[in-house]
Amino acid sequence: MLAPMTAPQADPTAAVPFDLPAPRKRSLLRDAWGEVRATARYGHLLRYLVSSSLRTENSDTVFGFFWWVLDPLLQMAVYVVFIGLLLGRGDPDYPVFILTAIISWELLAKATQGSARATLRKERAMRQVAFPKAILPLSEVIGAGAHFMFAFGVLLVVAIPFGIYPSAYALLVIPIALVQLILTTGVAFFISALNVFLRDTTKIVGYVFRMGFFLSPVLYPVTLVPDRYREIYDLNPFVTLFGAYRAIVMEHSMPDWSSLGIVAVGSIVALVLGYLFFVRLQASFAKLV
Amino acid sequence: MSSVDGLTDYAVVAKDLGVKYDLRLERRRTLRHTLAQIAAGDGSATLGRSEFWALEGVTFALRRGDVLGVVGMNGSGKSTLLQVIAGVFPPDAGALTTFGRDATLLTLGTGFDNDLTGRENIYLSAAYLGFSRSRIESEIDAIIEFSELGQFIEAPVLTYSTGMRARLGFSVAVHLEPQILLIDEVLGVGDAGFQRKSQKKLEEFIARAEAMVLVSHSEAFIGQMATRVLWLDGGRVKRYGETDEVLEEYLEASYDRLDKHQRAIRTGRVKTDPVKTQDITITRVFDAPRELVWRAWTEREQLAKWWGMRGWTAPPETITMDVRPGGAFRVTIVNDEDGREVPLRGAVYREVVEAERLVLEETAGDGQLEGGVSVATFTDLGDGRTQMGLHVTIQRTDEMRDAAEADLASLLDRLAEQLA
């Protein structure tokens, strides 16, 4: 009596008395567009993740919110002491010169490293809930962007004792930072997706960034780079970005719009490629983390 | 498409559903590992077709109002099935549809952030589940109240005990009421009181939800809740059908040494109904003088000759009886076939009226049903026969009442045989 029932069932499909429409063929572009729309629907989660992480990141420290000011200033102080005082290099406004680049570099570093950690740290949520995973790197980029805008304000104040007063040019930080955010988001998508599959990514990225820090004109002016390397050197988008920030803060002049335009186009390409890479891999996140 | 109209009756349909794990990617977690594999000449395995189907050819159709219970051993693909229905990842083969309804996996503490307070985590968790802020705000008071966290709701989740976390998680999940609820082993949260409350809340939920899929290792829970059962074995459907049939077979395979009664208890069919006060009255006439019947009840050696349902005996050495008000009564019965010993619940004599009336009250043990009261009356019919009335009041479900009545009848049958 029980034997025929326990045998592998004769026709399991009989349980479904109709046909389901065949699933649409998966295409990366269609998936990516679907993800963009889903992400837009989850704006509420994005806002909440950003605000809660900004609120809690320093909540267990004595200085708390003060670290928003202290972080860039102490970083600046390290290099000012080392290069300005010990090596006796740099102009009088050297602290402003490096702080301008440091806060911009921090935006990149904070956003990408935070994104790489986020895709691992939120693994429980990823395994339980169907939410657009792009929210995770995006929230890190936005958080880092908030830090940057705050630090930019600090920079304008710090510059005053050096005889550099804020001007209307400072408002141009918005388009410049926007270009950098686009670039940063692309990098963050790429690195956070890769890190799920290859946990060495964060370590490798740490060293790449440290090298990038010295290969970018943070601590020295581009004029220090020998002319024959300049063509290659200028391919680094941060040459243009730092130049643009310094122009509006220190020189009260327009940034180099043409090279900024090229960087903007390159950043958009980086964002699209990084996002496609992320979307391609994200379906597997929940299976791997 | 045989019937398009019929589609509206369905809530979740899966056809030849498959989910694949790519071991290639899974393994390549660190560079060292990958390099080591390639160096060991295992490059082809690393780069080759090593994949694993966690689910394969899974087909079922849930109508609205159905509750699907999923059973199977660990690693049989139960949780993967819930994840794919919840949309955590897309199917790699076949098709699955919920006809546009949202399906939410009820797990405890979705996306909780330890640094945030309980209240903030309610918002966060709900945001992950895709609920709007206004929806959360309308529910938040109910969620907090249900969680019984009181003022701790303003403390970081970091400071919570496991039980507190679980209570909060459960509370969030059931209050947001997705159209299709997916449950993965979440019962048994909190103390007995909270468990009763959660069970009730889930039952309310089921009454409203479109459909539900639940994974549990508790066959009793599945037996109680599910309208259909899917038995997974190694990612494939072993059986799919009516709860009673599939569960019976599953238990047969899993616990083939359990007898039918124990299976009935495991599948929860004994517990399905609400427990209430049940009265059982049995009247028997024994062809024996009243003194003899009285002694059969009150002397250890006599009781040992007949006590126990058919197939069971109570050896005199297992019987403790102190026949006076406040005295104890305790028996262990032994199965005639396999020698299994089952201690019965103890009782206390409340009234002892020589040859007339005997009242026993079960002692209520820890976590057990309230003790029942048995009243035995003995009437001399004058012709050498004795009429015995047995009136039992117990807290049982309807089904358990029938079982108890049968047991008592069986007991008295044996007494009759003994006295004859």
What's the structural domain count of chain B? 2
Average pLDDT (B121-136) is: 85
End-of-domain residue from the set B203, B233, B266: B266
- Structural domain contains residue B369: yes
Same domain, B291 and B231: no
Average pLDDT (A83-101) is: 83
CA A189 and chain centroid, separation: 8
Average pLDDT (B24-32) is: 57
Residue B212: name the closest of B355, B90, B348, B69 by CA.
B69
Residue A5: predicted pLDDT: 33
**Do strands B51-63 and B103-106 pair parallel, antiparallel, or not at all (unpaired)?**
unpaired
Residue B275: predicted pLDDT: 67
- Structural domain contains residue B32: no
The sign one gets for the Cα dihedral A168, A174, A180, A183 is negative
**Residues in Cβ contact with B176 at an 8 Å cutoff, skipping those fewer than 6 apart:** B104, B126, B129, B131, B135, B136, B139
Residue A253: predicted pLDDT: 94
At B303 the three-state DSSP class reads helix
Q: What CATH code is carried by the domain that includes residue B247?
A: 3.40.50.300
Same domain, B257 and B283: no
Burial grade of A256 (CB within 10 A; 0-12, 13-18, 19 or more) = middle
Same domain, B173 and B130: yes
Neighbour-count burial for A76-93, b at 16+ CB within 10 Å, e otherwise: beebbeebbeeeeebeee
E strand or H helix that includes residue B342: strand B341-343
Average pLDDT (A126-149) is: 92
Same domain, B174 and B295: no
Enter the tokens of residue B82: 């819930």
In chain B, what is the straight-line distance between the N-terminal and C-terminal CA atoms, in Å? 71
Residue A254 pairs in a beta bridge with none
Residue B285 contacts residue B381 (beta carbons within 8 Å)? yes
Same domain, B77 and B213: yes
- Provide φ and ψ at A284, rounded to 5°: -90, -10
Average pLDDT (A246-270) is: 96
What is the tens place of the pLDDT at every residue in A46-77? Answer: 998 898 888 877 777 777 788 888 888 998 89
- Provide φ and ψ at B116, rounded to 5°: -90, 160
From A249-258, B112-121, B216-225, B324-333, the region with the lowest mean pLDDT: B216-225
Neighbour-count burial for A214-233, b at 16+ CB within 10 Å, e otherwise: eebbbbbeeeebeeeeeeeb
* DSSP 8-state class, residue B117: B
When CB atoms are compared, the residue of A18, A198, A286 closest to B1 is A18
Same domain, B108 and B255: yes
- Structural domain contains residue B34: no
Mean pLDDT over the full length of chain A: 87
Neighbour-count burial for B251-272, b at 16+ CB within 10 Å, e otherwise: beeeeeeeeeeebbbbbbbbbe
pLDDT band at residue A97 using 50, 70 and 90 as cut-offs: very high
ipTM over 0.85: no
Please give the residue range of the domain that contains residue B141: 65-266
- Structural domain contains residue A25: no
Average pLDDT (B276-285) is: 84
Residue B277: predicted pLDDT: 77
**Residues in Cβ contact with B392 at an 8 Å cutoff, skipping those fewer than 6 apart:** B279, B280, B281, B372, B373, B374, B375, B404, B408
- Structural domain contains residue A273: yes
End-of-domain residue from the set B231, B248, B266: B266
- Structural domain contains residue A5: no
- Structural domain contains residue A208: yes
Same domain, B262 and B309: no
Quote the CA–CA distance of B80 and B78 in Å, as a whole number.
Answer: 5
Residue B219: name the closest of B262, B173, B181 by CA.
B262
Above 70 in pLDDT, residue A183? yes
Chain B residues lying within 8 Å of A130, measured CB to CB: 86-88
Above 70 in pLDDT, residue B41? no
Residue B63 pairs in a beta bridge with B10
- Structural domain contains residue A21: no
pLDDT band at residue A3 using 50, 70 and 90 as cut-offs: very low
What's the structural domain count of chain A? 1
Enter the tokens of residue A48: 């909440």
Above 90 in pLDDT, residue B333? no
B30 contact A CB<8A? yes
Same domain, B260 and B288: no
DSSP states of B310-332: TTEE--GGG-EE--STT-EEE-E
From A151-165, B65-79, B169-183, the region with the lowest mean pLDDT: B169-183
CA A85 and chain centroid, separation: 33
Above 80 in pLDDT, residue B403? no
Residue B367: predicted pLDDT: 39
Q: Which residue has the higher pLDDT, B377 or B7?
A: B377
- Distance to chain A for B151, nearest Cα, Å: 20
End-of-domain residue from the set B232, B266, B300: B266
- Distance to chain A for B235, nearest Cα, Å: 13
Same domain, B111 and B247: yes
Same domain, B174 and B125: yes
Q: A-side interface with B, Cβ within 8 Å?
A: 2, 5-6, 8-9, 12-13, 15-23, 26, 41-42, 44-45, 48-49, 52, 56, 59-60, 122, 124-131, 197-200, 283-284, 286-288
From A70-74, A116-120, B174-178, B348-352, the region with the lowest mean pLDDT: B174-178
Q: Which 3-state string (H, E, C) describes A206-267?
A: HHHHHHHHHHCCCCCCHHHCCHHHHHHHCCCHHHHHHHHHHHHHHHCCCCCHHHHHHHHHHH
What is the tens place of the pLDDT at every residue in B196-227? Answer: 787 788 778 777 778 889 888 777 778 888 89
Q: Where would I find the H helices in A42-172?
A: 43-56, 67-79, 94-121, 123-128, 135-159
Same domain, B247 and B165: yes
- Structural domain contains residue A9: no
Residue A162: predicted pLDDT: 92
Residue B191 contacts residue B159 (beta carbons within 8 Å)? no
- Structural domain contains residue B4: no
Chain A residues lying within 8 Å of B133, measured CB to CB: 44
Quote the CA–CA distance of B62 and B383 in Å, as a whole number.
Answer: 66
pLDDT band at residue A105 using 50, 70 and 90 as cut-offs: very high
Q: Which residue has the tokens 């797990």?
A: B107
Residue A80: predicted pLDDT: 87
When CB atoms are compared, the residue of B16, B86, B107 closest to A130 is B86
Chain B residues lying within 8 Å of A127, measured CB to CB: 83, 88
Same domain, B234 and B362: no
**Residues in Cβ contact with B171 at an 8 Å cutoff, skipping those fewer than 6 apart:** B143, B144, B146, B147
Above 90 in pLDDT, residue B395? no
Mean pLDDT over the full length of chain B: 80
- Structural domain contains residue A83: yes
Q: What CATH code is carried by the domain that includes residue B383?
A: 3.30.530.20
pLDDT band at residue A278 using 50, 70 and 90 as cut-offs: very high
- Structural domain contains residue B28: no
Quote the CA–CA distance of B318 and B331 in Å, as a whole number.
Answer: 6
Contact check, Cβ <8 Å, B6/A128: no
At B76 the three-state DSSP class reads coil
B76 contact A CB<8A? no
**Do strands B332-335 and B312-313 pair parallel, antiparallel, or not at all (unpaired)?**
antiparallel
Residue B330: name the closest of B317, B321, B339 by CA.
B321
pLDDT band at residue B271 using 50, 70 and 90 as cut-offs: very low
For B87, the closest chain A residue by CA position comes to A130
Please give the residue range of the domain that contains residue A137: 43-282
At A66 the three-state DSSP class reads helix
**Chain B interface mutation, best of A129, A196, A277, A281, highest count of B Cβ atoms under 10 Å:** A129
Q: Of B7-21, B108-122, B272-286, where does the model show the most confidence?
A: B7-21
Residue B94 contacts residue B57 (beta carbons within 8 Å)? yes
* DSSP 8-state class, residue B253: H
Contact check, Cβ <8 Å, A15/B111: no
Residue B257 contacts residue B75 (beta carbons within 8 Å)? no
- Structural domain contains residue B79: yes
pLDDT band at residue B232 using 50, 70 and 90 as cut-offs: very high
Q: Of A180-189, B30-39, B121-130, B190-199, where does the model show the most confidence?
A: A180-189
The sign one gets for the Cα dihedral B349, B355, B357, B362 is positive
**Residues in Cβ contact with B67 at an 8 Å cutoff, skipping those fewer than 6 apart:** B206, B211, B212, B213, B214, B225, B226, B227, B228
Average pLDDT (A168-195) is: 96
